[in-house]
Structure 1
């Protein structure tokens, strides 16, 4: 009887638990359906909106790309762009403006305080506020129309799930919000603040020789973007040195707090991060007209940074990549010209050690913190710029100020980008770029008449007697002497060889009369060398398909250079011996199915950490520095604590660590160590990417090919082997028939994780496929049209 009773209770408990689980699932499903219903934007029918003068149609194609058609005014087209940005990416836009404002703690809590301290100290929002008064009247009109469109989109009441999860409603958009993110892009793409901080630490610990070991100069004979002939150079190279300031360890550590805060926001310079673009003249193509390609390498996030759009008003006709929160097409084409960009990375930042008695001003920033009392932050500023050495920690030694072109007033970069959207020829293109300030970019150009060109605009300081690579005294002896005149910035028009290739490599050879950067400013030359080699393998007859193959190339020239040293390693165990046997026959192609790619990239990551015992955890050297160490049996290979005296010992020990780690993660059978099992793109959400109960909904991942310094850049993150940076957008523009051009983003148009287009481009992007970059509705697939009608 007792047994029967226990079984009865057990049965009831089991049924009760089952019902509880079912009820929980129903509740979760109900919440998801409610979130979807309340956050999915309207994309069909008709809405009446104040702020436009004539009707506008927004036709979304099969991938969610809006094709905007406004007949009355260009401002109406820009209004519609703001409207669709708000419909599809409102959370991203709000997050980005909060970053610019240093107001993350208001919604994310005290965990975001380090980021807000960094952002307020540098003063990104203050710099953004100075943009609007400097712009042309046309730019201000278009920006305001965009702002009104954003607010019309927000007023539709379809809040993104992030707003509901965090429990707040976005504030109305402003014209300053429409330009503020440009300052964070300038930080992400311009300057050498991090190199100056690392350089002063290296100089103190290892001396001048160590500086060249950790931050190697650009190699002699490596490719430059422009040749001496294209620049008309006859002089010899100039060298600059000058007095530098060595900082104490406590000050270096304080400066590194900024780097840590920026890194947590995805704003960082990592080895291999960069971009590719090139333009091919008609004499090299099958069609006889130019082909232009671009793929900017940035953080791969969810939502993706870019938003594809086709924007057409009476005179504004542009299609390409836009950034939600910013008006206009950033990269793309109109009916007559095409353009692409990569980072020049000139030295536009300097750290000044202010002397005692230097005049400083102060301001108090009040940071509101969710669930906590407000935090008051005192920010000091010298004549050079904000004091960046005492954020959040009080004064820790010498007062170090930052001078940077992007923080100075008078930034007219938006005039330049609007000018590109309207440009009809090379002269219009050049005239537009005269207004460009920051971040300096390598602009490649092509037009339907067959012309090609290149320009590197932006404010680049002139330094006399010093090179800007390290902190300098702020006593007035090391001041900027203006900026390089626009007409003397590197440029070429219709180059004789019909080819311009840029991959963040050095821009100019010796003899250029100005210093764009110091000898350590440029990315390693591997991508530029590989692109040029592939494009010149055929002297004529290049097609869009050929360009696709180059853009997607995953052969590692780093492996080519390191191969002799790595294969000479004496194995320390059986797994190491197996790994070396596999590597001996490898062609360096880093595909997802390659075991060798996994071994090589994991081993390279170990070697890039070889300086951490000398310089502290977190210090990583690039591939060129690794190569130089192995060639010269350099000091960084030595580790007294582990008894290693040379690079042979470092190679043996690092290979043993590598195969041990891969075995622990992937199992003892080396045949199963395929690259794609570890190397997956990490398109993680900025706010919820690390929250386990939400990450499954907001993060997106897929296996990817490519590696460190391959043309298709896909550097594995040390430790995880995941890809966090890479080609955030790809475009290939065919000037013989613009509608045969192609483009693709890294994830999808939508920002709503419950929407239809949140990640539908990721599989295309990872596999090397593209979307039609066409203004012809026959190429749009299944469409849905929303008509915006003017009202009061």
Structure 2
């Protein structure tokens, strides 16, 4: 017994020692990763002093006296202080160098990234930038490196055991190429279209990928288009059959993109709108924006207020990129959503096609280097080689974002300086990719809209399917900037964009085929809410619109779903609850969980025809149920129709929710399963570290609600959504508000890790103000030139 007692005491002491060691490690990581936010630091590369005042939420308010370049230097410095790991990770993604620090599990991602050549495209873009942009990039790069050398290191560097390399000017624009991939293009739709035609024939295209409804809203009306005319009718190219090996290669790219958090997501997109003064209480415009992207830890955006002698911009920046991406200055405000035009084409190259080759050496932590041969045709990189080798046709990708002389950074930096509509459009004339819906407002009361970008024109074919690369299907040019969709001071005083179709059929150019656009539900709901109160709108009214969670998808599907024959008591209870539901997807209600779990089952109805994992959107579900369509028929159960599918899918949803939440249907509250998953890109799936780096909370919203929060199939968690919200009041700029999805700190030991997430979930905002009295408790760091 004494021996056992001694062993027990020894074990207790061992546990106490381990706990003390763990606490000491945490304290050490906190001390060594927390940035200096007060006092004075002397740095090389500055021409004059700069103050960086971090407000109560950790947002830096940068004030440079000598030059705008000093202000940009300081932005690079604070980016590196708060988000060094995020910046290095994003740089490694753009370079395809994840395996160097993460080992073999990252090889599929590196193969995908090297094959597409994102970093090579960034290298080709740098020389094309204007002199002002290159100066700003150079200053930003110097600031980043000063931040890297400040003596503090992100915990991820210490955990993985490496130090980030010095930042370069190319690094400062490289992440924009991955943003272009995440937001622009339709290559995966071409692949799906090819599979659909091969399996279901031409008719299957409209069933699996329904065209945009003719009666749904477009961003611009025919009256707002300055030039209209007959569109050149384009025919669909003959379907090119892609063998299984090629499809497997494409799937490898898609899987790699998903592992990086960049994948096609139904309903993913953004909202922005601008309201003219005739509709507002102040008589001046109000501009709102909320881009919908992957919700990560740390969050993508970094809020900042950057001022020099002439630069006066505040809003959302992206660590690794110089300047404010979405926001305002002293006179002009802007917001963006994705246009998603057709700017990518897949070419099946003929046997006699000529290729250039390069060898990519991928260094792998703990293993031998891997050598990857990448081929390129005249159209672009051959993306069918990964996983397929020389088996099957060689399919090349042509994409505007991979072409040389991309001057998009000129456009964004130009917006930071714009003083009026002329400056705004002059800046956007330099925009290449990814094409965005820009809304505009200024303090003089003007509003506008422009959809810039390099959008190819085609003659005689519509770009919807892979085509032979034999010269018969080449781009004939791009839509001239002056002919791109735009409007200035529209008569109705309202522009609403939600990734919906941009222009009606009277527009003379084809921006995309009618299956490219997002479903119209968000645009319809935003317009419905804004026009319900034709005058007197305030910032508070606009907040309510941004946070709206009423589902118009439920409105469309309600009569079809409620006619379902239940199979079992849980199904009956589910239907009973749905009968009186108003469609508001709140986290404290059971009905949203029932509806979204059921809808998720229905969206998989094409899986038996096109392979497990194939998802159709809500519009396709509605069309199939209304028409008792063929996709309802399960090939493994002959004779099934849509009525049978509804019964079976409801039963599956009941079984899934019951297994997770118990037998009491009233206890199936949405927030128990629908939680935001802001996960770390590297450690999010590592059990020993996930608790430290991942952040979760119950959230409202669902598929295609304005406050979009599409549940992930299977888990019902939210992985994408409004990554940033802003509302700009042009009557008093400092009454504007904004908020991010998580917090400013990149380190889990920082002081501002999740303070914005709490507001973001609850529908709160922080002041988007350049006035010190609005900043709350603040700390000031002075950066001075090293003499």
Query: TM range, normalised to the smaller chain?
Result: over 0.9
Determine the C-alpha separation between the residues in 2 that align with 1:640 and 1:683.
38
Post-superposition Cα deviations, 1:107-141, rounded to whole Å, max 9, x if no partner, equal 00010000000000000000000111101000000
Aligned residue among 591, 613, 619 for 1:624: 619
Determine the C-alpha separation between the residues in 2 that align with 1:55 and 1:264.
43
In the other structure, the counterpart of 1:740 is 735
Aligned residue among 318, 326, 329 for 1:323: 318
1:78 and 2:76 equivalent? no
Aligned residue among 215, 219, 244 for 1:221: 215
SS at match of 1:701: strand
Aligned residue among 332, 343, 348 for 1:353: 348
| Structure 1 residue 242, shift from structure 2 partner | 3.9
Post-superposition Cα deviations, 1:283-339, rounded to whole Å, max 9, x if no partner, equal 000000000000000000000000000000000000000000000000000000000
Aligned residue among 121, 126, 131 for 2:120: 126
In the other structure, the counterpart of 1:338 is 333
1:238/1:511 contact within 8 Å kept:
no
1:385/1:402 contact within 8 Å kept:
yes
Post-superposition Cα deviations, 1:631-671, rounded to whole Å, max 9, x if no partner, equal 11111111131345200010000000101111110010111
1:189/1:345 contact within 8 Å kept:
yes
Aligned residue among 166, 169, 172 for 1:172: 166
Determine the C-alpha separation between the residues in 2 that align with 1:417 and 1:424.
14
Determine the C-alpha separation between the residues in 2 that align with 1:732 and 1:499.
15
1:30 and 2:24 equivalent? yes
In the other structure, the counterpart of 1:3 is none
Aligned residue among 39, 47, 63 for 2:41: 47
For residues 283-298 of structure 1, the aligned pairs below 5 Å read 283-298=278-293
In the other structure, the counterpart of 2:100 is 106
In the other structure, the counterpart of 1:634 is 629
Determine the C-alpha separation between the residues in 1 that align with 2:249 and 2:293.
26
1:92 and 2:86 equivalent? yes
Deviates more, 1:512-521 or 1:725-734: 512-521
2:236/2:464 contact within 8 Å kept:
no
Determine the C-alpha separation between the residues in 1 that align with 2:35 and 2:222.
54
In the other structure, the counterpart of 1:56 is 50
Post-superposition Cα deviations, 1:432-473, rounded to whole Å, max 9, x if no partner, equal 000000000000000000000000000000011111111011
1:67 and 2:61 equivalent? yes
Aligned residue among 383, 403, 408 for 2:378: 383
SS at match of 2:363: strand
Summarize the Cα distance change of 1:373–1:392 in structure 2 as closer, same or farther, 3 Å threshold: farther
State the TM-score, normalizing by the size of structure 2. Answer: 0.99
For residues 65-464 of structure 1, the aligned pairs below 5 Å read 65-232=59-226, 234-236=228-230, 238-244=232-238, 245-464=240-459
SS at match of 1:542: coil
In the other structure, the counterpart of 1:654 is 649
Q: Which runs of 5+ in 1 are unaligned?
A: 1-6
Aligned residue among 455, 472, 482 for 2:477: 482
SS at match of 2:703: coil
SS at match of 1:511: coil
In the other structure, the counterpart of 1:763 is 758
Q: Which runs of 5+ in 2 are unaligned?
A: none
1:590 and 2:585 equivalent? yes
In the other structure, the counterpart of 1:673 is 668
SS at match of 1:532: helix
Determine the C-alpha separation between the residues in 1 that align with 2:570 and 2:314.
52
**Alignment length, in residue pairs?**
786
Aligned residue among 604, 607, 613 for 1:609: 604
Post-superposition Cα deviations, 1:14-67, rounded to whole Å, max 9, x if no partner, equal 212211111111010000001111111100000000000000000000000000
Post-superposition Cα deviations, 1:243-293, rounded to whole Å, max 9, x if no partner, equal 332212221221121111111101112011000000000000000000000
Post-superposition Cα deviations, 1:522-556, rounded to whole Å, max 9, x if no partner, equal 00000000000000001110000000000000000
In the other structure, the counterpart of 2:677 is 682
1:575 and 2:570 equivalent? yes
Aligned residue among 551, 559, 569 for 1:564: 559
Determine the C-alpha separation between the residues in 2 that align with 1:294 and 1:388.
35
Deviates more, 1:253-262 or 1:465-474: 253-262
SS at match of 1:12: helix
Post-superposition Cα deviations, 1:220-259, rounded to whole Å, max 9, x if no partner, equal 1100000000004553455311433221222122112111
SS at match of 1:59: strand
State the TM-score, normalizing by the size of structure 1. Answer: 0.99
1:197/1:256 contact within 8 Å kept:
no
1:548 and 2:567 equivalent? no
2:237/2:462 contact within 8 Å kept:
no
Determine the C-alpha separation between the residues in 2 that align with 1:92 and 1:395.
37
Determine the C-alpha separation between the residues in 2 that align with 1:262 and 1:557.
30
Deviates more, 1:299-308 or 1:386-395: 386-395
| Structure 1 residue 714, shift from structure 2 partner | 0.2
SS at match of 1:278: strand
What is the CA RMSD across the aligned residues, in angstroms?
Answer: 0.8
Determine the C-alpha separation between the residues in 2 that align with 1:690 and 1:292.
38
SS at match of 2:755: coil
1:743/1:770 contact within 8 Å kept:
yes
| Structure 1 residue 11, shift from structure 2 partner | 1.5
Post-superposition Cα deviations, 1:728-776, rounded to whole Å, max 9, x if no partner, equal 0000000000000000000000000011111110010001000000000
| Structure 1 residue 586, shift from structure 2 partner | 0.3
Post-superposition Cα deviations, 1:124-162, rounded to whole Å, max 9, x if no partner, equal 000000111101000000000000000000001200000
Determine the C-alpha separation between the residues in 1 that align with 2:165 and 2:754.
27
Determine the C-alpha separation between the residues in 2 that align with 1:711 and 1:431.
31
2:220/2:504 contact within 8 Å kept:
yes
In the other structure, the counterpart of 1:18 is 12
1:292/1:446 contact within 8 Å kept:
yes
Deviates more, 1:242-251 or 1:565-574: 242-251
SS at match of 1:319: strand
Determine the C-alpha separation between the residues in 2 that align with 1:787 and 1:602.
53
- Kindly report structure 1 stretches of 4+ aligned residues shifted beyond 4 Å: none
Determine the C-alpha separation between the residues in 1 that align with 2:485 and 2:236.
25
| Structure 1 residue 707, shift from structure 2 partner | 0.1
SS at match of 1:180: helix
1:278/1:501 contact within 8 Å kept:
yes
Determine the C-alpha separation between the residues in 2 that align with 1:131 and 1:240.
32
Determine the C-alpha separation between the residues in 2 that align with 1:601 and 1:333.
37
In the other structure, the counterpart of 1:693 is 688
Determine the C-alpha separation between the residues in 2 that align with 1:622 and 1:640.
20
Determine the C-alpha separation between the residues in 2 that align with 1:516 and 1:234.
14
Determine the C-alpha separation between the residues in 2 that align with 1:40 and 1:137.
35
2:121/2:404 contact within 8 Å kept:
yes
SS at match of 1:726: strand
Determine the C-alpha separation between the residues in 2 that align with 1:204 and 1:392.
21
Post-superposition Cα deviations, 1:472-526, rounded to whole Å, max 9, x if no partner, equal 1100000001100000000000000000000000000011110000111100000
SS at match of 1:481: strand
In the other structure, the counterpart of 1:4 is none
Aligned residue among 483, 496, 501 for 1:506: 501
